[in-house]
C-alpha cells in the first residue's frame, strides 16, 4: 500500500485520550495538485475554512489530521489553533504553511489545544514513511470499528498510475458532503481543473449518496492529492480518454470507501442499497432514494428483517419525487413484492424476507415515470445505534 512520492505516519498525541493514535500526517515529496470537496453544512469547523481558502491555489504538500476533537464551533480561537498547528507542521517539514491542509474529527465545541500537537510534531514527522498509510487510517477513526482503505491502479498509455484512499466515518453521516474525512493520494500527473472536476462529480455520486443517520457533519472533507510521480503524460483535457480512465478508477476508490463507511455505520448490521428507477429526473430519483434511505421506520424494519414495503412507499410519498401510486413496483433484490402499487402476495413476502436475512441487499423502487435513476446506500437502525449515541460523550 504505497504510492510513489507519498509518505504518511501517525502517533498518539493525547489529544483526547492517552495512548491512542490520534495525530496523523500525509506528505508528498513535491507539491501536489490538490482538489477538495467540503461540507455544505452552514456550520463549518475552523479547518474547513482554512483549507478552502488555501486550496484556491490548487496545491498542497501535506495534510495534518487529528481525531478526538473536531475544532468546530470554537470561534476565533479555533481558527488560531488551526493556523498554529499547520505552522508547526510546515516548520518541521520545511515547507510553506500555505501548502498544509488541516483536518479534525471528534467532539464539537471543545476548545482545541495546540500543545499536544507541538509535543508530538517532531516524532510524527520523523516517523513519515511510504508504509505509513495503515496507521494513518487507524488514527482518524472515532466510532469507526474498522479502518477504511481502498486502492486502484490504472494504465494510462502504458504508464501505471496508483490511487490510494483512506476514509473515516461512522456517525453523523449524510451527504453534502457526506460526513467524513477522506484522503486520496495518487501519483498521477494531472492538471488542477481536470482533477477538480473529477473530484466534484465523483463525490456527488459516491459520498453524497450514503447515509447512516441523515446528519451532516461540520467537518466533512475529501481531499485528492496528485503529485505526478508516476510520470504519465499530463492529463489536462477533461474529455481525453486518460481523464476518463483515471476518473473511473478514482470514482471506484470513492465508491469503495463510501460503501465501507455505510457498512461500518454506527450499530449497522445491514448494508442496503435503495435504487429508485423510472423517475422523471435524476434529482427526483436522488431525493426519493435519500428519503427512503433516511426513514427511521424503514431502517428499523431492515434491522428486524421485515419486508415492510408499506413504510418504503410511505417514505417515497413524502419525498419531492413525482409518481402515480398505482404504477409503483418494489423489489427486494430480484423478488418483486409490489406491482402497480399493491402487494403481490404471501409467497413473495416470504421470499423477500429471505433476502433481508442477508447482510447486503438492494431495494428497487420502479416508478415508470421516466428513464432517470439513482442509488443511495444506507444501513439499518439497531439497538447499538441508540447505545452508541446515547453514551458517546460520556
Q: Which of the residues are catalytic?
A: 179
Q: CB nearer to a second copy: give 29 or 322.
A: 322
Q: Which is nearer to a second copy, 334 or 387 (CB)?
A: 387
The reply on whether position 296 binds a second copy by CB under 8 A is yes
What is the Rg, in whole angstroms, of the alpha carbon atoms belonging to the chain?
A: 22
Instruction: Please tell me whether residue 301 binds a second copy under the rule CB under 8 A.
Output: yes
With b for 16 or more beta-carbon neighbours within 10 A and e for fewer, the 314-324 pattern comes to ebbeebebebe
- Could you say which of 118, 245, 314, 351 contacts a second copy (CB under 8 A)? 314
| Cβ(180)–Cβ(261) below 8 Å | yes
Q: Beta strands 181-186 and 221-226: pairing type?
A: parallel
359 makes contact with a second copy (CB under 8 A): no
Please identify which residue in 18, 56, 157, 326 interacts with a second copy, judged by CB under 8 A: 326
Q: How far apart are CA 266 and CA 23, in angstroms?
A: 23
Out of 29, 153, 318, 359, name the contact with a second copy by CB under 8 A: 318
Kindly give, in sequence order, each residue whose CB lies less than 8 Å from that of residue 287, ignoring residues fewer than 6 positions away.
Answer: 319, 320, 321
The rounded distance, in Å, linking the Cα atoms of 255 and 249 is 10
Min dist. Cβ of residue 73 to a second copy (A): 6
In the bound state with a second copy, the residue whose beta carbon lies nearer, of 122 and 345, is: 345
d(CA 115, CA 361): 47
Task: Give phi and psi for 113, each to the nearest 5.
Answer: -95, 135
What residues numbered 330-349 form the site for a second copy, per CB under 8 A? Answer: 338, 340-343
Residue 352 engages a second copy in binding (rule: CB under 8 A) = no
Rounded to a whole number of angstroms, the minimum distance from the CB of residue 374 to a second copy is: 18
The strand order across the sheet containing 372-379 reads: 210-211, 372-379, 271-279, 360-366, 329-332, 335-339, 342-343
42 or 56, CB closer to a second copy? 42
The interface region with a second copy, picked from 155-163, 233-241, 244-252, 318-326 by CB under 8 A, is 318-326
Binding mask 184-223 for a second copy (x = CB under 8 A): -----------------------------xxxxxx-----
- Which region, left, alpha or beta, applies to residue 158 given φ > 0 means left and ψ of -120 to 50 means alpha? left
Residue 43 interacts with a second copy (CB under 8 A)? Answer: yes
Residue 29 touches a second copy, criterion: CB under 8 A:
no
b/e code 172-193 from CB counts within 10 Å (16+ = b): bbbbbbbbbbbbbbbbbbbbbe
34 binds a second copy (CB under 8 A): no
Residue 126's Cβ-count burial label (10 Å; 0-12, 13-18, 19+) is exposed
Alpha helices in 94-240 (DSSP H): 115-126, 133-139, 192-204
Which of 187/220 has CB closer to a second copy?
220
Site string for a second copy, 74-113 (x = CB under 8 A): xx-------------------------------xxxxx--
How far is residue 190's CA from residue 237's CA, in Å, rounded to a whole number?
9
Q: Which residue has the cell 413484492?
A: 337
Stretch touching a second copy by CB under 8 A, among 84-92, 137-145, 167-175, 188-196: 167-175
Q: Which residues bind a second copy (CB under 8 A)?
A: 40-44, 70, 72-75, 107-111, 171-172, 174, 176, 213-218, 294-297, 300-301, 303-304, 306, 308-311, 313-318, 322-323, 325-326, 338, 340-343, 381-383, 385-387, 389-394
Amino acid at each position: 500500500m504505497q504510492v510513489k512520492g507519498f509518505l504518511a505516519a501517525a502517533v498518539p498525541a493525547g489529544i483526547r485520550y492517552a495512548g491512542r493514535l490520534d495525530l496523523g500526517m500525509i506528505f508528498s515529496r513535491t507539491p501536489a495538485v490538490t482538489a477538495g470537496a467540503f461540507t455544505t453544512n452552514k456550520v463549518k469547523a475552523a479547518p474547513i475554512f482554512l483549507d478552502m481558502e488555501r486550496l484556491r491555489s490548487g496545491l498542497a504538500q501535506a495534510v495534518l489530521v487529528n481525531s478526538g476533537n473536531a475544532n468546530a464551533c470554537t470561534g476565533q480561537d479555533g481558527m488560531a489553533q488551526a493556523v498554529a498547528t499547520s505552522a508547526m507542521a510546515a516548520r518541521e517539514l520545511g515547507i510553506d504553511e500555505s501548502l498544509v491542509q488541516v483536518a479534525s474529527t471528534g467532539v464539537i465545541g471543545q476548545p482545541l489545544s495546540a500543545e499536544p500537537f507541538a509535543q508530538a510534531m517532531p516524532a510524527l514527522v520523523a516517523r513519515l514513511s511510504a508504509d505509513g498509510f495503515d496507521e494513518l487510517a487507524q488514527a482518524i477513526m472515532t466510532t469507526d470499528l474498522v479502518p477504511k482503505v481502498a486502492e486502484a491502479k490504472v494504465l494510462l498509455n502504458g504508464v501505471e498510475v496508483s490511487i490510494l484512499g483512506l476514509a473515516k466515518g461512522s456517525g453523523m453521516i449524510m451527504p453534502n458532503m457526506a460526513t467524513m474525512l477522506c484522503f486520496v493520494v495518487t501519483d498521477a500527473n494531472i492538471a488542477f481543473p481536470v482533477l477538480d472536476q473529477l473530484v466534484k462529480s465523483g463525490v456527488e455520486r459516491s459520498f453524497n449518496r450514503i447515509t447512516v443517520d441523515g446528519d451532516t457533519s461540520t467537518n466533512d472533507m475529501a481531499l485528492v492529492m496528485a503529485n505526478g510521480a508516476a510520470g504519465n503524460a499530463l492529463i489536462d483535457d477533461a474529455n481525453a480518454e486518460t481523464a476518463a480512465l483515471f476518473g473511473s478508477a478514482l470514482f471506484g476508490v470513492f465508491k469503495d470507501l463510501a460503501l465501507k463507511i455505510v457498512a461500518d455505520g454506527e450499530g449497522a448490521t445491514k448494508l442496503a442499497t435503495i435504487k429508485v428507477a423510472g423517475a422523471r429526473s435524476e434529482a427526483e430519483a436522488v431525493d426519493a432514494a435519500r428519503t427512503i434511505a433516511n426513514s427511521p421506520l424503514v431502517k428499523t424494519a431492515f434491522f428486524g428483517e421485515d419486508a415492510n414495503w408499506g413504510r418504503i412507499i410511505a417514505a417515497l410519498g413524502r419525498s419531492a419525487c413525482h409518481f402515480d401510486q398505482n404504477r409503483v413496483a418494489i423489489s427486494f433484490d430480484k423478488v418483486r413484492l409490489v406491482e402497480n402499487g399493491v402487494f403481490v402476495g404471501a409467497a413473495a413476502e416470504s421470499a423477500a424476507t429471505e433476502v433481508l436475512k442477508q447482510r447486503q441487499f438492494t431495494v428497487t423502487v420502479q416508478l415508470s415515470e421516466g428513464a432517470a435513476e439513482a442509488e443511495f446506500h444506507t444501513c439499518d437502525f439497531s439497538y447499538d445505534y441508540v447505545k452508541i449515541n446515547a453514551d458517546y460523550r460520556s
